[in-house]
Structures are given as C-alpha cells and as structure tokens.
A and B are shown apart, each in its own frame.
Chain A
Amino acid sequence: MATVRIPPVLRPQTGGQPEVEAAGSSVGEVLRALTAAHPATEEQLFGPEGDLNRYVNVYLNDEDVRVLDGLDTAVADGDTVVILPAMAGG
C-alpha cells in the first residue's frame, strides 16, 4: 500500500481526508485506486484520454513523476504519492 497525500482542493472529494491509503505497483495504478475509492477525484486528476491533467503535479516521495516514468513509475510498499496542484492564495 502507498500513502496518497490529498491537497486541500481535493479533500471535499475524499471526505475531508488529507491522506488516503491506496494499492498499486505503479503511480498510475495507485491513482486509479484512489479514483475508484473516491470517484469525484477522477475528473480533476485525469483528462478525457486518461492522461494526468497538466495542472496536477504528482510526486513519488520527493521526486516529480515527470522526471521519472510518469504514471508508469514503480511504487513500492510504504511509498508516498503526493498530489500537488498550484495554489495562489496570498
């Protein structure tokens, strides 16, 4: 199981939980497990073609998956997947 960190803007879709446990051997699978458990997160994370939306940054532990293997990046047990959209509040 991996831990998925949920940003404030997505917490209404996860029942307010800041962290969700999700299973999967890749970042894509972990995120699909998240959207299966909390369907309202789907359209905010994924575009119509199933790609990650460009305005959503996803990190495996401390590294941006864009510089790893994207959604195919392998996830080990105990890893943390951070979902991070830009915030503009000042």
Chain B
Amino acid sequence: MATQIKQQVEEIEPFEAAGEIEGGDVVLVDTREPHEYQEAHLENGKLVPPGLLGDEIAAAAPDKSARTILYCRSGNRSYKAAEQLQALGYTDVASMAGGILAWQEQGLPVVSASGMTAEQRERYSRHTLLPEVGVDGQLKLLNAKVLLLGAGGLGAPTALYLAAAGIGTLGLVDDDVVDASNLQRQVIHNTERIGEPKTSSARVTIEALNPDVNVVEHNLRLDAGNILGLIEDYDVIVDGADNFPTRYLLNDASVRLRKPVVSASILSFDGQISTFVPFEGPCYRCLYPTPPPAELAPSCSANGVLGVMAGTMGTLQANEVIKLVLGVGEPLIGRLLLYEALGTRFTELKVRRDPECPICGENAPQIEESEMGKFPDYQAFCAG
C-alpha cells in the first residue's frame, strides 16, 4: 500500500498575506461557511466552503500554478483545505495562520456583509446604533455625493460634519484663497494655510479627519455655462454662497435638474435656512421672487457676522443633508427657519410654492441656459 506523505503546507502571517494581496496576482480563497463569509470577509476573497471544495475550487481558482492563499476563521480549516489543494495539484498554496480573527486583530480591513470594513464599522458605530441610520443608512451616506457651494463660513462646518459622517464624495466649489479675516469662522482652514486656495485647504482638513471621503475640488466661480455640468453628478447641493447671483443661478439650475438644495445664509447675529426640493416644495424664487437692491444686500458691504453663526447654521445644513440622504425625518421643505443669536430665538415661517413662479410654477417655460440666474429688468444687482 502506497502511503502518500503529506506535503507540508506553507503558513503565512496575516501581514505577509496582506503584502502579497496588495502586490496583486493572488487568488484569495475563504474556506468557511456562507454565513461566516457574509458576516465579514477579506476583500476579493472567494468563498469555497470546505464541503464543496472539490466541486467549486476549479471555478474559484482555475490556475493551479497561481499563488493561492487560503484563510478561514482561525487557520485550521484553511490548513486542511490547503492540503487538499496540493493533492489536487495546486503548486503554490499557503494557509493564513490565525485566520480572519488574527487578520482583524492586526487591524487589517475586512468587508462586512454590510459592505463596510471593520474600521468603518468602528468609526461609524455611533451612527449605526441609531435605528434611523443603521448599517444601511451609513452605506447610503458612504455612497452619497454632496456638492458644497462655498468653502467659507457655512461651507466649513458643513463640510467638517458631512466628512465626519462619512459622506462618500464631497465636492467643494470656491475660487477664493484663505484670508486671515476668514479664520474667525471658517474653521476648516488654518493660520498656516493663509493664501492657499480654499478648496485645497479644506481638502487637507477633510482627509485628515476621514480618509473615506473623496474630496473633489472645483476651484472656479459658477456661471450659467458651467453650473449644469457641475451639479448633475451630485445628489444634494448645499448653498452657502456669499452673493445673490450665485444663489439664483443655483436655484434655476437645480430646479431644472431636480436636485435638492439645502440653503442657508448668515449676517451679523441672524441666520436663515430652508431646504428646497424641486416640485415637492417651493424653490428659492418662490421664497424670494426678487433680490434686494445693492444697499439692502448686506453681503455687498462689510456688515460683519458673529463667527459662531456659521457653525450654528452650517451644522443645521449638515443635518438637513443627512436627513435627505437617509430619507428620514422631516427636512425643512416649505419651511424657513430663522435663528437670532442675541435673543437665542428660533422662528419658523411657512413657505409656499408660488403658482406664478417663473422657474418652478405650473406654467413656467423652460428658459435658455444663458438666462439662468438672470433678472432681465433688474439693474442694481448685487455683485457679491
């Protein structure tokens, strides 16, 4: 009787496996049961349960000479499976010692059933504990694309909290550079970065806070020629613009593309916020049919603003964005919330859709792109 001497199986440590996986050209096989795999597995790991090894390994690892790394929960089942593969003629097989438990102990990433890595599950645990968010909600946030108009007063706190919340893509529109006078409220920038573009300054802070966020810099000024192309890729737009032309332009374009806009503004000790969802509620022009003349358009002059107002209103904006992405709660649709900081007073006003609105009204004609954001009979338009 011929006894085949078992060939020793190569065992590698998780960090070695991680290095090989990162280098590429590795077939990674998970030798556990389906329910274990669903809970958490290594990225690109192919499930081949022990009982189905003979039937399924050929599909998972067709090349018997390819480097093949097996893992299981703690390293026993993968070792045995590796022996079987060698018997089947696989020539470059290794079993990961300690399995996925050891892998995770070393802080290496896994993909959970939810699509989140172990690191993400830790990072967002205070979100996923909330029934209104949960794992599914966190995944919505991670897949959301949010565009911020302005990386200044309102944009700074909004961007910080949206980044912390794990919004997957944050677009930043701003053509300005960081100025010393910004730093009293624009907390995403810092003293060292005075003179740098605001978009790149904000990127540095966001990336340090949360590497999950993909920051897209749009270092430009919005105009009728670029706005549609810019906003069409995003799910929600946050308006923190410092001038009326941009606010009306954004409104007209967002109604056209049916993009929800979370709009806020601040001045001295006062703030306003509302959420405009096209055709579901009023638009910015329903609320403000006409911009004020220059002498009443405070952004044109140096009226001053309490720095913390940006934080209060910006974080309210972030809250609106998160609710829109999650589809929970009651966004400020058809409601204008006023905040007066000296009296610490919130006031809520109703905003109705205007049937005569030139942009979202029942008989509103589709305007030319070049006409978006315009007031044909309006001369004294505030230029910012």
**Assuming A18-B340, A90-B240, is B265 touching A82 (CB within 8 A)?**
no
Whether B266 lies near A18 (C-beta < 8 A) is no
Bound together, the chains give a CA A44 to CA B297 distance in angstroms of 12
Query: Least Cβ distance of A6 to chain B in Å?
Result: 10
Residues facing A in B239-254 (CB within 8 A) are 239-244, 247
Contacts of A7 in B (CB 8 A): 270
Q: Are A89 and B305 in contact (CB under 8 A)?
A: yes
Q: Would you call B5 an interface residue if the criterion is a C-beta within 8 Å of the partner chain's C-beta atoms?
A: no
Q: In the bound complex, how far is the Cα of B342 from the Cα of A5, in angstroms?
A: 13
The answer to whether B3 has its CB under 8 Å from any CB of chain A is no
B8 within 8 A of A: no
Contact A8 B270, CB 8 Å, known A89-B265, A89-B298, A90-B150: yes
Candidate in A63, A67, A86 with the most chain B CB atoms within 10 angstroms? A86
Is A64 positioned at the interface, with any CB of B under 8 Å from its CB?
yes
Asked if A84 and B242 make an inter-chain contact with CB atoms under 8 angstroms apart, the answer reads no
Cβ B350 vs Cβ A88 within 8 A: no
Does B291 sit at the interface, judged by CB under 8 A? Answer: yes
Shortest beta-carbon distance from A63 to chain B in Å: 6
A88 near B349: Cβ-Cβ < 8 Å: no
Q: How far is the CA of A90 from the CA of B289 in the complex (A)?
A: 20
Within 8 A of B (CB), among A44-84: 44, 54-57, 59, 62-64, 67, 82, 84
Determine which of A5, A55, A63, A90 lies in contact with B350 in the assembled complex, contact meaning CB atoms within 8 Å.
A63
Q: Does B65 contact A (CB under 8 A)?
A: no
Are A62 and B241 closer than 8 Å at their CB atoms? Answer: no
Knowing A88-B243, A89-B267, A89-B305 are in contact, say whether A55-B382 is a contact too (CB < 8 A). no
Query: Among the listed B242, B287, B290, B340, which residue makes an inter-chain contact with A90, where contact means beta carbons less than 8 Å apart?
Result: B242
Q: Check A85 for interface membership: any CB of B closer than 8 A.
A: yes
Judge if B303 is at the interface, Cβ distance under 8 Å. Answer: yes
A9 close to B (CB within 8 Å): yes
**Which B residues are CB-close (under 8 A) to A56?**
292
Pick the interface stretch among B76-84, B96-104, B152-160, B360-368. Answer: B152-160
Q: How many Å lie between the Cα of A44 and that of B298 in the bound state?
A: 13
Are A86 and B244 closer than 8 Å at their CB atoms? yes
Cβ-defined contact, A89 with B288, below 8 A: no
Q: Which residues of chain B have C-beta atoms less than 8 A from A44's C-beta?
A: 296
Question: Which of B266, B290, B292, B347 is the one whose CB lies under 8 Å from A89?
Answer: B266
A44 to B382, CA, bound (A): 16
Over the window 1-29 of chain A, the binary record of Cβ atoms lying under 8 Å from chain B Cβ atoms (1 yes, 0 no) is 00001011100000000100000000000
**Which A residues are CB-close (under 8 A) to B340?**
18
Give residues 363-384 of B contacting A (CB, 8 Å).
Answer: 382
A71 to B343, CA, bound (A): 28
Cβ-defined contact, B154 with A8, below 8 A: no
The reply to whether B292 and A62 contact each other, CB–CB distance below 8 Å, is no
Give the CA-CA distance A57 to B336 in the complex, in Å. 12
Give Cα distance in the complex from A82 to B156, angstroms: 30
A55 touching B240 in the complex, CB below 8 Å, given contacts A82-B347, A90-B153: no
B155 — which chain A residues lie within 8 A by C-beta? 90
Annotate B287-318 by CB proximity to A: 1 below 8 A, 0 otherwise.
11111110011110001010000000000000
Cβ–Cβ < 8 Å partners of B342 in chain A:
18
Residues of B within 8 A of A57 (CB): 287-288
For the complex, is B184 an interface residue (Cβ under 8 Å from A)?
A: no
Given contacts A57-B287, A88-B243, contact A9 B298 (CB under 8 A): yes
Complex-state Cα separation, A88 to B242, whole angstroms: 5
Q: Which residues of chain A are within 8 angstroms of B382 by Cβ–Cβ distance?
A: 88
CB contacts (< 8 Å) of A9 on chain B: these are 267, 292, 296, 298, 303
B interface, CB within 8 angstroms of A:
149-150, 152-155, 239-244, 247, 264-270, 272, 287-293, 296-299, 303, 305, 336, 338, 340, 342-343, 347-352, 382
